[in-house]
Homo-oligomer: A and B are copies of this chain.
Amino acid sequence: MHNSKTFNRFLDEHHERFLRELADFIAIPSVAAQKRGIQEMADLLTERFRKLGAAVHQYPLPDGGSPVVYAEIGSGPRTLLIYNHYDVQPEEPRDLWHSGPFELARRDGKLIGRGVADNKGTLLARIQAVEGWMATQGELPLKIKWVVEGEEEISSVHLEEWVKAHREMLSADGILWEGGGYDEAGRIVMAAGCKGIAYFELHAQGPNHDLHSSLAPIVPNPAWRLVWALSTLKNPQDEITIDGYNDHVRPLTEEEIRLIDALPFEAEVFKANVGLDEFLNNMDARSANRRLFEIPTITICGLDSGYQDEGSKTVLPARASAKLDFRLVPDLTPDLVEELLRNHLDARGFSDIEIVRLGGEKPAKSRLDSKLHQAAIAASQDTWNKIPIMYPWFAGSGPMYPLSVMLNIPVLSAGATWHPQARAHAPNENILERDYFDDMRFTASLLAHFGQE
């Protein structure tokens, strides 16, 4: 095992410098959806890996995609592949931030900024943990391969293709996924899979320019077309009504239901945090918990048409669009969902609604009993003196499929920084300063356990 005393002393000594490095990461608005700051962030990360002593290379992706930053360091009987991403969600709505989204703020024990939780915090903490290990323990006990992509927030549009082209290079005994944290009750949570995702824009076109709304009796309104089309996809009972959709939803196994029902779920705390009196459809906590894992969803992430400013404007808009996020459970895939959606709309007279796919990821499940999982449980005990809760998969999505399912490597999402009010994807995204350094302690301990013969 490693000497945690010298390791911890190193963290204390380098506390402020580590946070300055984090501030540098946050300062770059690497918003993949808007192609902002991507190359700059890839370069800063590459430079950080170089300072660590890792062999590092940027893999450019086709169509101007964000480069994959790949790094290797150490050697040993086992190989740990670490997956993170350096891109972030857009910062809008800006006016709800209490400080600049790209200036790391320290308030009330929190570190606040776009990407600090998702995912630059854990990304950098793991690099700093390896630095700390080498400075205090010497040689690494295993080989580490880092895959850090810059398109996670736009559905990792090129990752599957890239992984296919580098299968050999990516061989490993386990994948430490993006990150992890704890739930409302402070229980450490880890996950060995995730839902898939398909993200679409729906576009409706009306007249060739905005018209005076007095023409509404005779001119088709694209906003109405869009509303009618959307209303056929899901009913007010929140059931997906796309033709044939539910035939592809594999029911949970008895074993999965047992695992899920055994998971803790702090329903009241959750509802209070997000300001809800009741869950959707007034469901109880047990149903809510099961649904989180069980069901596929269609979320309207955005609606856009016509006049949106203050007051009234009597306009018949030329265009309307919606952004839709489909979360997928087995055996739904992005290709299948797009086909079902197109057929469903066509069958109802909505062939005028254009579908633009912005990305997709297949769902992924992994075994739960590998050496990696054992090492993570031990590291959780070392770091927090707690046995973690093992989720069979997260309700969220991520590009686990290409790395874990395609390469057949056990995967686990685990770490210290994700907490229930982290506001990932929302204004005032944050992590706790304490958790940031706990992530380094957890990582070091995981390296020790996983590297052990």
| A138 close to B (CB within 8 Å) | no
The 0/1 profile, CB within 8 Å of B marked 1, for residues 120-139 of chain A is: 00000000000000000000
- Binding stretch for chain B, among A246-254, A272-280, A333-341, A399-407: A272-280
A323 is contacted by which of B292, B312, B359 (Cβ under 8 Å)? B312
A199 to chain B, nearest CB (A): 4
| A425 close to B (CB within 8 Å) | yes
Closest Cβ neighbor of A232 among chain B residues: B231
A207 is contacted by which of B197, B236, B275, B359 (Cβ under 8 Å)? B275
B315 with A425: CB separation less than 8 A: yes
Chain B hits for A33, CB < 8 A: 309-313
- Binding stretch for chain B, among A69-77, A161-169, A220-228, A408-416: A220-228
Cα-based distance from A155 to B359 in the complex (angstroms): 43
A306 is contacted by which of B208, B211, B280, B300 (Cβ under 8 Å)? B300
Q: How many copies does the complex hold?
A: 2
- Binding stretch for chain B, among A42-50, A104-112, A390-398: A390-398
Query: With A227-B227, A323-B306 given, is the CB distance from A426 to B90 under 8 Å?
Result: no
Closest Cβ neighbor of A157 among chain B residues: B312
Cα-based distance from A45 to B312 in the complex (angstroms): 24
26 contacts between A and B (CB under 8 A): A34-B310, A89-B315, A92-B307, A195-B214, A207-B275, A210-B425, A210-B426, A211-B425, A214-B292, A214-B396, A218-B280, A219-B274, A219-B280, A220-B276, A223-B300, A223-B303, A227-B300, A231-B231, A300-B317, A301-B306, A301-B313, A302-B307, A303-B320, A311-B358, A314-B397, A315-B426
